[in-house]
Amino acid sequence: MSIPELLVNDGFISWQDREKINDLSAKTGQSFIKIALSFGYISRKNYDRSLSNAGYVFREIRELAYDPEVIAKTELKFADQHLALPLRIENGKVITVMADPSNQLFIDFIRFTYDCEPEIILASDLDVTWLSHKLAGDKYVKSAVFELLNRDPASSAFITFSTGQLAFLFILLGLVTIGLVVSFKNTSIIINILISTFFLVAILFKLFLALTGSRFELHQAVTREDLRELKEDELPIYTILLPVYKEDKLIKKLIWNLQALDYPREKLDIKLLIEEDDDKTLNAVRNLDFPAIFEVVVVPFHMPKTKPKACNYGLHFARGKYLTIYDAEDIPDTDQLKKVVSMFGKLPSNYICIQSALNYFNRNENFLTRMFTLEYSYWFDYMLPGLDTLDIPIPLGGTSNHFKLDSLVELGAWDPFNVTEDADLGLRAYAKGYKIAVVNSTTYEEANNEPINWIRQRSRWIKGYMQTYLVHMRNPVALWRKLGWKGFLGFNFFIGATPLTFLVYPFLLAIFISYLVFDLSTIRTLFPDWILFMSIFNLMVGNILMIYINMMAVFKRRYYELILFSIANPVYWLMHSISAFKGLYQLIVKPFYWEKTEHGLSKVNSPTNIVK
């Protein structure tokens, strides 16, 4: 009796479902058992139970001997589709691990390829997947790491500082030092002028952007009518990549969130990307006692161990027309995928990415989550729509950015050496003449509620911004030509200015406090009237405006209880500064190190975000 028949007989799969699985199998080329397990037709526990009751024995296969030449004859994608892998030839038989020992197609493949009979070892699908990716995934993981570097080295963050940049930095440093030695006062005044002007322009620019963005708060990029016009049969296959690392606590939550998505199940291609050494998550998936609607892809070990590398690897197995990334704890609006499909249909073809807004479900948990929510509301509801309206490159958010898959591949996908690969990708897209839009849909994430964890996460973001800035400013003239003046200035004020602002902020604050506390009237000599005037304006008006914009953003979101927390922003910015210095240190000593953010720390119960 074949395994499908066994499962039907045991009552774990209905006849109707079997028909559906067979249809899907014929369309996708995946085996019956692969579809049954990754489209939520049967849970792994029931699958194990059914086979064990029938007398099958699952074996541990990770330590089994293998012959690379034997493995090389089997394409990983084929092995992955059938959850089977030939390991070696022994006693005239091909030792083959299989999750479905009755898979006739794969058995025939073994016979024809190796001209021997297979000796089948039954193993759990997750172990087969783990082993096949580990043993046969070398080609793909190398491509995931080096593809962009080989194809477009100028866009890769593999080299952090180019020779020109190092020369520029040291010459600048030298000139400033000489200037300070020769004429301390005048050099300090010049530095003051530059910093004050920079802050003034940055403040006005951000206010302008926020106001531009807020103008469109009633604008619905995709309306309910647009969604009604979509026909389910015509919806394309949608790939969702879920890169996780040691997120065992979140797996159950993840399944509920994915099941809430309003999109036909058979048109979803959800890939849970698990690192090779991440047994915690793999075991959490193994222990699920209800059906999962994702497919596990194991990312073989290769440095750098970063999220973009995992995504690049997963991209090789993606089947969709569109692709998006979610984090394990994300709760997207249920109609988000449909909105994106509808919006891509309306937009010109040069729009290759759509960014959704991000916000937090645990906003009222503590001070940090409130501040984070204020920041995100301002960033995704005002700044990004503002940038979008003014046609300035959008630094993509870490998740919920939806791509056209073929365009993503054409761009060279994510840079595995960049720790804010999303922001970098947004810029590369603009530089190639592509556009990014913003959709009126939100993904709710878990705000970091623990200060050290927050600093770790933020230091990675700020380091990534520095990396991205350095990569794209290797040739400023070329960048100017590619992005145009608006894009170039926007890039400098967004990606470049953000880390710089946070690095300079504590020094300026210290000068101000020293001036107040110690009455250092000599400081006045370094601040001529006009500069002092501008500095006071920046300090007063800048802080007030930035706080006010934050208030506006949460007012728009109707998070009225958070409004007064905006006043605490100057303290929150100090935490950014700590992260910025940590990021700068890491940029120099370990640029590709991925500071892992702990998720699942929130004690807030997160209901699924069903759109009414």
Partner 1 sequence: MRNQSKYLLLITILLAIYYLVCGIYLNHLGYFSQEAMFYVEKSKIVVDGLGNRLKVMGLTAPIIPFYTSFLFSFSKYTAMIAPIIASSLCTAILFFMIGSALLKRAKDDFYLLVLLIIFLFHPGILYAACSGKSIALVLVFFFMFFFNLLKFYRSNTTFHVSIASISLVLLIFCDYKFIWLTLFFIPLVLSITVKSLNLGEQESIFRLFISFNNPSLRRKLINKTFALYIILFVLPLACIICYKLLNLTHAQDLNYFSESPYATWTVLADKLSFDQLSTSTVYQIPETSILISARILLFCPLILVAIYMFRNSTYQILTLLTPFAFVEFLHIKYEKVFLVNEYYMIFLVLALLCIFYKAQTIKNQTLLKTIVGLLTLVQLYTGYIFLKNSSITEERNFITVLLNRTPDTHQDQNRELADYINHLPDGSHVLVDDAIAFPIVTFSKDIRKLTLPYQGAYLSAIESPDKYDDYVLLATPKNEVTGFTQLNDKYVPVVKKANSALKLHRVYETDDWILYKVFD
By CB under 8 A, is residue 555 in contact with partner 1? yes
Q: How many Cβ atoms sit within 10 Å of the Cβ of residue 588? A: 11
Binds partner 1 by CB under 8 A, chosen from 167, 204, 564, 571? 564
By CB under 8 A, is residue 544 in contact with partner 1? yes
Question: How far apart are the C-alpha atoms of 610 and 562, rounded to whole Å?
Answer: 23
Q: Which two tokens stand for residue 210?
A: 């926020």
Min dist. Cβ of residue 214 to partner 1 (A): 4
How are beta strands 117-122 and 295-299 bridged, if at all? unpaired
Q: Pick the stretch among 83-91, 146-154, 462-470, 549-557 that binds partner 1 (CB under 8 A).
A: 549-557
By CB under 8 A, is residue 151 in contact with partner 1? no
Helix then strand then coil, % of the chain, to nearest 5:
60, 10, 30
Min dist. Cβ of residue 442 to partner 1 (A): 16
By CB under 8 A, is residue 63 in contact with partner 1? no
By CB under 8 A, is residue 532 in contact with partner 1? yes
Size of the site for partner 1 (CB under 8 A): 24
Q: Pick the stretch among 132-140, 415-423, 475-483, 530-538 that binds partner 1 (CB under 8 A).
A: 530-538
Question: How far apart are the C-alpha atoms of 422 and 411, rounded to whole Å?
Answer: 13
Min dist. Cβ of residue 526 to partner 1 (A): 14
467, 505, 506, 575 from 570: Cα distances, Å: 25, 10, 10, 9
By CB under 8 A, is residue 432 in contact with partner 1? no
Binds partner 1 by CB under 8 A, chosen from 217, 226, 262, 277? 217
By CB under 8 A, is residue 533 in contact with partner 1? yes
The residue type found at 79 is A
Residue 384 CB partners (closer than 8 Å, separation 6+): 213, 355, 357, 394, 397, 438
Length of the chain (residues): 612
Binds partner 1 by CB under 8 A, chosen from 321, 556, 568, 598? 556
Binds partner 1 by CB under 8 A, chosen from 55, 529, 603, 612? 529
Min dist. Cβ of residue 75 to partner 1 (A): 55
By CB under 8 A, is residue 218 in contact with partner 1? yes
By CB under 8 A, is residue 57 in contact with partner 1? no
Min dist. Cβ of residue 565 to partner 1 (A): 11
Q: Pick the stretch among 210-218, 249-257, 416-424, 503-511 that binds partner 1 (CB under 8 A).
A: 210-218
Q: Pick the stretch among 66-74, 114-122, 212-220, 291-299 that binds partner 1 (CB under 8 A).
A: 212-220
Pick the closer one to partner 1 by CB: 303 or 540: 540
Question: How far apart are the C-alpha atoms of 33 and 41, rounded to whole Å?
Answer: 10
By the 8 A CB rule, do 491 and 393 touch? yes
By CB under 8 A, is residue 536 in contact with partner 1? yes
Question: How far apart are the C-alpha atoms of 99 and 295, rounded to whole Å?
Answer: 14
By the 8 A CB rule, do 434 and 174 touch? no
Min dist. Cβ of residue 208 to partner 1 (A): 12
Q: How many CA atoms lie within 13 A of 519 on its CB side?
A: 0
By CB under 8 A, is residue 154 in contact with partner 1? no
By CB under 8 A, is residue 548 in contact with partner 1? yes
Min dist. Cβ of residue 542 to partner 1 (A): 11
By CB under 8 A, is residue 208 in contact with partner 1? no
Binds partner 1 by CB under 8 A, chosen from 513, 561, 571, 610? 561
CA 475 to chain CA centroid, nearest Å: 27
How are beta strands 238-244 and 117-122 bridged, if at all? unpaired
By CB under 8 A, is residue 431 in contact with partner 1? no
- Any alpha helices (H) in 382-522, and if so which ranges? 384-390, 405-411, 421-431, 451-472, 476-491, 497-518
Question: How far apart are the C-alpha atoms of 513 and 518, rounded to whole Å?
Answer: 8
Pick the closer one to partner 1 by CB: 479 or 551: 551
Question: How far apart are the C-alpha atoms of 92 and 111, rounded to whole Å?
Answer: 11
* E strand or H helix that includes residue 277: none
Q: Pick the stretch among 343-351, 441-449, 532-540, 581-589 that binds partner 1 (CB under 8 A).
A: 532-540
Question: How far apart are the C-alpha atoms of 426 and 398, rounded to whole Å?
Answer: 11
By CB under 8 A, is residue 550 in contact with partner 1? no
The residue type found at 271 is K
By CB under 8 A, is residue 359 in contact with partner 1? no
Binds partner 1 by CB under 8 A, chosen from 504, 523, 563, 584? 563
Pick the closer one to partner 1 by CB: 63 or 529: 529
Residue 229 CB partners (closer than 8 Å, separation 6+): 342
Among 578, 486, 463, which Cα is nearest to 209's? 486
CA 594 to chain CA centroid, nearest Å: 12
Min dist. Cβ of residue 516 to partner 1 (A): 9
Pick the closer one to partner 1 by CB: 429 or 553: 553
Residue 15 CB partners (closer than 8 Å, separation 6+): 8
Binds partner 1 by CB under 8 A, chosen from 214, 457, 577, 606? 214
Q: Which residues bind partner 1 (CB under 8 A)?
A: 211, 214-215, 217-218, 529-530, 532-533, 536, 540-541, 544, 547-548, 551-553, 555-556, 560-561, 563-564
